[in-house]
Structure 1
């Protein structure tokens, strides 16, 4: 797992543009809160599959609350975290990731994004 802290100048881009840029930076990107058990579970799922996601811990980012609000708007849901992007595309929160895993479509999606080789 690669933990990131993005220190770019926030005034140059909107928060929504930053989310899109960050989400496109790696094959698998997880926006997380370090103390959240659901976030830990989704990170463990990917690591257990041999995927090395880029993780943005929003509670360690000075502007993390702004990013969290942007993700909530993007999802159109109450609780946004964790939020997963695969291949730069929004997958969704924990429920969506688990649904893809259970129905067998998560692995092909990860392979298509170049996050999983086998």
Structure 2
């Protein structure tokens, strides 16, 4: 059977809204001399996510390794909860400036160990 009940209640505290305007969070990109320099990204709402700048910056004589905070690569899936500066990390190009994998061809049956070597 349907159930219907009327309830009366009172609130013992006045309802208030947050009177302070929310601050805008900013993510700045420091390319360390690379070009192009991405524009800052601003977030007026909490838990926004940084869009990875495209294209990646380029710098003569260096390889771009990614965007970092200190020594830690930035996770673009994390929500922004404070102002950030993301810094481009660069590796000096050398003769061996490509990734390598050994062995470069494996058995059709699999089961082999593989070594991946960064530049």
Which protein has the larger Cα radius of gyration, Structure 1 or Structure 2? Answer: 2
- TM-score normalised by the chain length of structure 2: 0.24
Superposition TM-score, scaled by structure 1 size: 0.24
The structure with more strand, counted as a fraction of residues: 2
